[in-house]
Structure 1
Amino acid sequence: MEGSIENCSTTNGSTDSLEYDVHKQWPTPHAQQAVKTWSRLNKLLTQRLVQIDGESLDIATVIALARYGCHLGLTTNPGLRVRIESSVNTLQTYLSNGYYLYGVNTGFGGSADTRTQDLFGLQRALMQHTQSAVLTGVDTQSGSGHHEYLESHSMPSMWTRAMMLIRCNANIRGHSAMTHDVVDTIMQLLNHDIVPVVPLRGSISASGDLMPLSYVAGAIQGNPDIFVRVGGMSGTAKIMTAEQALSEASIKPIVLGPKEGLSLINGTAAAAAVATLALYEADQLAIAAQLLTALSSEALFANNEWAHPFIAAVRPHVGQIEAAQNIRNFLHGSRMMYGLEQTKDRFKAGLAQERYALRSSPQWLSPQLEDLTSAGAQLNVELNSTSDNPVVNVADNDIHCGANFQAAAVTSATEKTRLALQSIGKMLFSQTSEMINHDLSNGLPPNLAADDPSLSFCLKGIDVNTAAYVSELGHLANPVSNHVQSAEMHNQAINSLGLLSARKTMESVEVLSLIVANCLYTGCQGVDLRTLHRTFLMKAEEPARQMLGALLSAEDGSEDFFPQFWKTFEAAWYHSCTLDAAERCERSTEALLTAIVLGVTITGDIKVKAIADCHQTFSDYVLQLYLSHRDGFFQHQITPNYLGKGTKMAYLFVREHLGVPFHRGLIEHPVANSPCGNMLDGRPKKTIGSWVSKIYEAVRDGSFYSEVLRFLDAK
């Protein structure tokens, strides 16, 4: 078959003497960073332990603890405890001199003009005013019934675990004047799988994420009106009060000393936590989008000249070079596309170049990959930063008031990430629509129906709900940072809304994952149908040649014209994709025989009559051959033999690992008392949505991503 890109390269003859081999490997910073994070995460999951030192926390460590429940410990560096104790001693010296210090013996925010000598009471007062957000009975009671409309108002425990980890890492840096006991107690909660129930809304991420972190502070204090989830990682979470949970785990409640309450809550940990979790999945989705672009191009049997490295080399944006290379890697070995081979067919009929959704995908993805890489760099800095106020300077024996809690850097990362996700979703929707729309799909049947299109509309619903997802994604892409409201007596006149932006970015991750699932389901259906029809045409070619041999004498030169005749049949076959099988075979045969009449010099009425008589015979034969071939293909898809190495990996993951089958049409639909039964070849029939849901879960739980990263890691 045409279009293999194996062992092909071209050379640029310009004076720069660069060789543009389609398989030459260039640096791929976004993919390399993703592979590095994935590899480190796998190592941490083997160890089941993560350690922090205040300096080297990374995304993989956050994921390992937050999503997979790894235990937390401190590094054995003796200097770590020294710097913690030194910051506490510096504060005590400061206070012994009778100095006033914000949040230690003064009021908070716009009330900082007050003074007090009750240092412990001040920290309790801080908790009192910040523990003020809404939780419902759904959040605070185990197993009790609630009105359906009264939804949860708490963060997922995964978010809270990440927040607790990041706050611990910040507080051990030696700038917080927090005693070792406070950090140890937070770590004990994590290692006993005791996770505070934290309200979802109420933080503007200025003066830090005061409200969310105050519920963590309340938990380590054993507050009887602060609630925790216990045992969530084992799948049997119980909700109880912090007081009860600490008692059952034999954990001593903390009494917050001077500045310790402020050190706990005056920071960006909540915003940074959700942003980190969102970015981890956003990186996965960006790489999946490049794989899906490759898969879509195979379903469309596309001209992939647009992925040639020369195009990116002469407009050398890092992201464009990377996207084109990754797509070529996923397509390597494909027999379902063309345009990257050394010798091109410059007389090929049809579109001279692909439509924008494929052809400009490297250019479209380029800034998205660069922005995601930039967002990762920002968050890595934030994970190892001191975001307190005031901050202790042990070296100078001084304490400084500033605004490191302002989470604008986190907001910048999440705004970029969310806009990137929207752009990726728009591209994937366009590609998916091209596969489903027979006017754009290069001959695939309408709605990618494998049976007769008059009664099967297969993926039409996928087209519609993907549009709904893209619309929602577009709304979510709107910036959050321009909605700042002055707060807290106009003290917090500018505030980052970092947590809110991160939450919306996590929503975007969820919606784009739905689009990716739809596109992956569609792409697998598309390449199956492409393989079905191309292999059928291959099988029908020799019988057609024999028919011409019997119909026409050698002197007519029919053999010389046969390739042209057969191209006519192939074109007619794809052009008539909207017809049911019987009519499609008749129309295609008619086109073939018409071409024969017009293309071969024939003498005598007998041969003309023979051609006419042949029409029905060959049409019937083609129909039986097609139905037989289709039935065989339904039982055993040979599609992997024609796919690129990367797209084959994705296809087999869907078909074999997840068990999502090639959709055969109307016979697949489960209905009570169906005349065809509700089992098909030993498997239950399911709605299309149920099959897509399996893919969505694999996208979200990371199993699909692991396959893709394993492939990239081997390159």
Structure 2
Amino acid sequence: MTTVSLNPGNVPLKDWCAIYRGGDPVLADGWRPNVERGAKAVADIVGKGEPVYGVNTGFGKLASVRIAADDLELLQRNIVLSHAAGTGEAMPRSVTRLMMALKLASLAQGFSGIRPETLDLLAGMLARDVVPVIPCKGSVGASGDLAPLSHLAAVMIGVGEAETPDGRRPAADALAAAGLSPAVLGPKEGLALLNGTQFSTAYALAGLFEAEALFREALVTGALSTDAARGSDAPFDPRIHKIRRHKGQADVADALRGLMSGSAIRASHLVGDERVQDPYCLRCQPQVMGAVLDVLRQAASTLETEANGVSDNPLIFAEEGEALSGGNFHAEPVAFAADMIAMAICEIGSLSERRIAMLVDPALSGLPAFLTPKPGLNSGFMIPQVTAAALVSENKTRAFPASVDSIPTSANQEDHVSMAAHGARRLQEMAANGRVVIAIEALAAAQGCDFHAPLASSPALESARSLIREVVPHLEDDRHMHPDMEAALALVAAGRLAEASGAALPGVAD
């Protein structure tokens, strides 16, 4: 497993992606003095006896209730237990670990008032693979992701369940088996653990990484479909895109031109083809996929900033000895980013489905109907296109922006919320739908190119097509389509088509 060094407040996007893909996060040296200063500031505040939200007061609407010094430990335990009120299936392990790493890097900046030993416990859980079982529903994305983060904090105090290398176990047993002791939370620590945007941000980052991978695979299948339809690469001429000035559009045109370079099928278009223009699904790929890339890059910038920020409340400024209440827990930036990613995923699939529909239509593609040599007796790719249409339509309903909704909570004290949590959480299933659409296009495009034999596509696209043909043979007569689709899906899910092409494809960090 790759070790990823977390420098709190300065972790690049690629490192968050490495953690999501299975990397082992470890705090870089130098964090402890800042954390110790923050913890001392909280102790000093408690010693003065002045009311500070969440330290010696109640929470939310109960902020005006003072808590006696003898009850401060109980106060922190109570907030964890009472707020661990999530529901639904458990978060995916990869997203939970990413959320833990985000929380670790945030707390380690020293603005949360948490003690080093509590942070050591969280780091130890990651190192020893003690991953809390966290219900995925119950956050509205403001006042922090309270419910899911409370389930994380609950495991840290020995309550709830955790996944371990030996399976799911009660939290106390899981900690003991890993040589860890449950935390006894001091003033402010429970609130520091359960406040913040790390749940929403983890899901949004996961959605971003899946969307970027989907985007790259779709560039390859889009180029392959263009060749299958004997489409023109003239719309990818750099002069067209230079004068419109959108970077994503120019980058996508460069990638498509590179993918098709050297194609004999493409060359055949130049001789005796009376078509003047291709359908938009081919011709406008740079404009649509370029806009997708620009949106993903903007979302990436927002999420990288959020991932490196501190988003709990109140915040402890040790040098001044002050605790300031604010609203960094409000996940509106994450909600907007998640909505952008949702639209991008939706459009990747939508354009791909249109290419599939074009390929199965002989009037548009010039290929046999439904890409079968014997249409009528065989249905060929008729129903895979219907499946793609169904998934695209489903993604359209999921793409409605979550951030435009709000509902008051905590007796109207928390009267505007972001809905970032489910806005980000939907991205996983949207990306999964998109991968199936791209897999179907990969099969259809490979089948379409088969009809142009002995002409070959470009070296890059032939490498991708050969990979497809290693797992799915040419479709001569109808057969059980589901196994073919699953085999192609496995390639797309692993990013194998982009890898096989060997092409320099743009991404969110370019």
| Both structures adopt the same fold (TM-score exceeding 0.5) | yes
Q: Counterpart in 1 of 2:239? A: 310
**Structure 1 residues 441-460: aligned runs within 5 Å:** 441-442=365-366, 444-450=367-373, 452-460=374-382
Tell me the distance in 2 between the aligned counterparts of 1:421 and 1:333: 30
**Structure 1 residues 634-649: aligned runs within 5 Å:** 642-649=456-463
Q: Counterpart in 1 of 2:258? A: 329
Tell me the distance in 1 between the aligned counterparts of 2:95 and 2:26: 19
The change in CA–CA distance for 1:171 and 1:706 in structure 2 (over 3 A counts) is farther
Q: Counterpart in 1 of 2:25? A: 72
Q: Counterpart in 2 of 1:619? A: none
Tell me the distance in 2 between the aligned counterparts of 1:264 and 1:649: 49
CA displacement 1:488-545 (0-9 Å, x = unmatched)? 11112111111110011222111111111111111111111222xxx4xxxxxxxxxx
Q: Counterpart in 2 of 1:267? A: 196
Asked whether the 8 Å contact 1:130–1:211 carries over to 2, the reply is: yes
Q: Counterpart in 2 of 1:527? A: 449
Matching of residue 470 in structure 1 with residue 431 in structure 2: no
Q: Counterpart in 2 of 1:59? A: 13
Asked whether the 8 Å contact 1:288–1:708 carries over to 2, the reply is: no
Matching of residue 229 in structure 1 with residue 153 in structure 2: no
**Structure 1 residues 82-161: aligned runs within 5 Å:** 82-117=33-68, 118-134=71-87, 153-161=89-97
Q: Which amino acid aligns with 1:102?
A: Y
Residue 71 (structure 1) shift: 2.7
CA displacement 1:633-671 (0-9 Å, x = unmatched)? xxxxxx6xx212331232122223xx22112213xx3xx
The change in CA–CA distance for 1:66 and 1:359 in structure 2 (over 3 A counts) is closer
Tell me the distance in 2 between the aligned counterparts of 1:497 and 1:423: 22
Tell me the distance in 2 between the aligned counterparts of 1:371 and 1:290: 16
Asked whether the 8 Å contact 2:207–2:424 carries over to 1, the reply is: yes
Residue 708 (structure 1) shift: 5.2
Which stretches in structure 2 are left out of the alignment for 5+ residues? none
Match of 2:224 among 295, 305, 309: 295
Tell me the distance in 2 between the aligned counterparts of 1:704 and 1:498: 32
Tell me the distance in 1 between the aligned counterparts of 2:430 and 2:248: 21
Asked whether the 8 Å contact 1:415–1:505 carries over to 2, the reply is: no
**Structure 1 residues 251-650: aligned runs within 5 Å:** 251-338=180-267, 348-442=272-366, 444-450=367-373, 452-531=374-453, 535=454, 642-650=456-464
Q: Counterpart in 2 of 1:606? A: none
SS of the residue corresponding to residue 72 of structure 1 reads strand
CA displacement 1:597-636 (0-9 Å, x = unmatched)? xxxxxxxxxxxxxxxxxxxxxxxxxxxxxxxxxxxxxxxx
Tell me the distance in 2 between the aligned counterparts of 1:390 and 1:710: 48
Q: Which amino acid aligns with 1:115?
A: R
**Structure 1 residues 10-49: aligned runs within 5 Å:** 48-49=2-3
Asked whether the 8 Å contact 2:205–2:303 carries over to 1, the reply is: yes
Larger radius of gyration: 1
Matching of residue 654 in structure 1 with residue 498 in structure 2: no
Q: Counterpart in 2 of 1:692? A: 485
SS of the residue corresponding to residue 316 of structure 2 reads strand
Tell me the distance in 2 between the aligned counterparts of 1:50 and 1:417: 25
Residue 184 (structure 1) shift: 1.4
SS of the residue corresponding to residue 122 of structure 2 reads helix
Residue 128 (structure 1) shift: 2.2
Residue 304 (structure 1) shift: 2.3
The change in CA–CA distance for 1:500 and 1:258 in structure 2 (over 3 A counts) is same
Match of 1:220 among 156, 170, 184: 156
What's the Cα RMSD here?
A: 1.9
Q: Counterpart in 2 of 1:18? A: none
Worse-superposed segment, 432-441 or 393-402: 393-402
Q: Counterpart in 1 of 2:99? A: 163
Tell me the distance in 1 between the aligned counterparts of 2:51 and 2:149: 25
SS of the residue corresponding to residue 410 of structure 2 reads coil
Aligned length: 505
Tell me the distance in 2 between the aligned counterparts of 1:352 and 1:244: 70
Q: Which amino acid aligns with 1:238?
A: G
Residue 113 (structure 1) shift: 1.1
Match of 1:193 among 107, 113, 129: 129
Tell me the distance in 1 between the aligned counterparts of 2:499 and 2:127: 26
Asked whether the 8 Å contact 1:305–1:338 carries over to 2, the reply is: no
SS of the residue corresponding to residue 137 of structure 2 reads coil
TM-score (normalised: structure 2):
0.95
Residue 709 (structure 1) shift: 6.8
Asked whether the 8 Å contact 2:220–2:497 carries over to 1, the reply is: no
Higher relative contact order (CA 8 A, sep 6+): 2
Report sequence identity in percent: 29
Q: Which amino acid aligns with 2:92?
A: P
Asked whether the 8 Å contact 1:278–1:502 carries over to 2, the reply is: yes
Q: Which amino acid aligns with 1:88?
A: A
Worse-superposed segment, 329-338 or 293-302: 329-338
The change in CA–CA distance for 1:97 and 1:398 in structure 2 (over 3 A counts) is same
Residue 703 (structure 1) shift: 4.0
SS of the residue corresponding to residue 185 of structure 2 reads coil
Asked whether the 8 Å contact 1:323–1:366 carries over to 2, the reply is: yes
SS of the residue corresponding to residue 301 of structure 1 reads coil
Tell me the distance in 2 between the aligned counterparts of 1:665 and 1:310: 44
Q: Counterpart in 2 of 1:629? A: none
Tell me the distance in 2 between the aligned counterparts of 1:131 and 1:168: 19
